[in-house]
Amino acid sequence: MRTNIRRIIVAALVLILAIGTGMVASSLWEQRKIDIALEVIELLPEVAQRIQNFHRVKVEDGRKVWEVSAKEARYFEDEAKVSVIKPVVEVYLEEGRTVGMRGEGGEVFLDGKDVRKVDVQGGIEVQIDQYVIRTEFASYEALSEQIVVPGIVRVEGNQLEFDGESMEIDLDSQRLRVTDGVDMLLWPKGSHVGG
């Protein structure tokens, strides 16, 4: 009889231990689910700010002034900037010509709803008429209507090819200025620019 009572007590203790362990495990699992949910909630504002096919345009007096687009963008409201992938910047000059700039990535800095500045980096091409400018970093500054290249640049086009450093393109006057390390090749009219 004592053996049966001992077995019942041992079984009861094992059952109580199993139930207690199950309750602790369940409580820990519920706490982990709450922690995971809180981590997801913290990520939501950032996830909600991801934009596919980002596009912004400025129009004045019925004429496009500039257009910025990108394959993907992520908006940082507190910094008033948009981080972009595969950006394309188009500036529409008054006489109808267009200056285009594209790269692998960059950042768009905002001033309210307007674009203040666009930094583009990685394999950049700037297209101005028959000229192509290649570099690794460039900025379009909307207020001064300039494209600024602080580093090494290569320009190829009709009858000329040159390399240099530190270039500014004034879009209003349509002048290009390279301040350092210019190395230029000119070809006679009608010959092909090669490289």
- Express as a percent the part of the chain with pLDDT over 70: 86
Nearest to 50, CA basis, from 71, 19, 23? 71
Q: How far apart are CA 116 and CA 190, in angstroms?
A: 41
Q: What is the pLDDT of residues 8-41, one digit of tens each?
A: 877 777 778 778 787 777 777 776 766 665 565 4
Instruction: Decide which of 2.60.450.10, 3.40.109.10, 2.40.30.10, 3.90.1170.50 is the CATH code for 52-186.
Output: 2.60.450.10
The number of helices, as runs of H, and strands, as runs of E, in the chain is 1, 11
Using an 8 Å Cβ cutoff, are 184 and 173 in contact? Answer: no
Q: How far apart are CA 70 and CA 107, in angstroms?
A: 10
Q: Tokens for 49?
A: 């700010």
Taking the CA atoms of residue 123, residue 193, residue 145 and residue 138 in that order, the dihedral angle to the nearest 10 degrees is: 20
Positive or negative CA dihedral for 37, 43, 45, 51? negative
The whole-number pLDDT of residue 175 equals 86
Q: How confident is the model at residue 47 (pLDDT cuts 50, 70, 90)?
A: very low
Q: What is the pLDDT of residues 174-189, one digit of tens each?
A: 888 888 888 777 777 6
Mean pLDDT of 80-109: 89
The whole-number pLDDT of residue 48 equals 41
* Strand 114-128 with 63-76, pairing: unpaired
Q: How far apart are CA 93 and CA 175, in angstroms?
A: 13
Residue type present at position 130: Q
